[in-house]
Amino acid sequence: MTIVDTHCHAGTDKYEPIESLLFHMGQAGVDKAILIQHQGQADNSYHVECLQRYPNRFSSAMIVEKTDNGEKIRYWAEQGIVGIRLPANSRAEATDSLAQWRTAVELGLIVSAPSSPSALLSEEFAEVIETFPKLQIVIEHLGGIGSDAEPPYDEFKRVLALARYPNLTIKLPGFGEFCKLPYPFAHIPPLARMVVTAFGPKRVMWGSDFPPVSSREGYNNSLHFPMEYFSDLSDEEREWIFGKTALSVWKLTDTRS
């Protein structure tokens, strides 16, 4: 199958350069990746450079200043960036507080949404979903659920009810984000299984969170452990979770087909 990592960070002033990510991708057998701009960085030039150096290997999600009314979004989109990182309850500090969401719709961008259960259940996010029903929104980090979550996961179940909106997809991270360390995990809560049941494999996409994942279970394990965990699924279902969903959402071509 074609494997796509939908949550990676690369940079020259924070985290690691693209060559480090490419090394880990090669070791793990990952074909393509989505570069997610890290918080606090609104200069997306390095992402553009990576897109140009490795055509059809990467897609990217930009970040812009909270004061941007859409001008910078348009600029970076013209450079080839197809996504924007907007927190689920984000509002612009502009005359139109929904300007950045509105510009994403206008340009056909994908929104990668840093999330927490409270943000996803907020009035602000409800307004976004109702106002922009065709905007492709990817919920990051399994909705922000962490290793401190306890059964019966009532709040998380309310988050999963958002699967009724067909424009929402969700990222499946390395299990070190919601299992107590160290690896190998002594206990695996049913959160990933709950997500796949709620959204279906065609709306779930794996993302490592490189390089922070290196301080949890490591890059290889962030992929191969969930692949083994979901070994009871069909080959087609796993192909969607670990590649095909990302290819369809993030506008990458499957060069293996």
Element (H, E) at 34: strand 32-36
Would you write out the chain's pLDDT as a tens digit for each of its 257 residues? 999 999 999 999 899 999 999 999 999 999 999 999 999 999 999 999 999 999 999 999 999 999 999 999 999 999 999 999 999 999 999 999 999 999 999 999 999 999 999 999 999 999 999 999 999 999 999 999 999 999 999 999 999 999 999 999 999 999 999 999 999 999 999 999 999 999 999 999 999 999 999 999 999 999 999 999 999 999 999 999 999 999 999 989 887 76
| Biggest CA pair distance of the chain | 51
Domain locations in the chain? 4-249
CB-facing half-sphere around the CA of 90: CA atoms within 13 A: 25
Query: Alpha-carbon torsion 100, 18, 176, 170, what sign?
Result: positive
In this prediction, residue 7 carries a pLDDT of: 98
- Beta strands, E only, 77-211: 83-85, 110-113, 137-139, 168-173, 204-207
In this prediction, residue 100 carries a pLDDT of: 98
**Prediction pTM value:** 0.97
| CB 229, CB 242: distance < 8 Å | no
In this prediction, residue 257 carries a pLDDT of: 60
Residue 192 CA to residue 175 CA, distance in Å, equals 8
Count of beta carbons in the 10 Å neighbourhood of residue 146: 14
CATH architecture designation of domain 4-249:
Alpha-Beta Barrel (3.20)
In this prediction, residue 173 carries a pLDDT of: 98
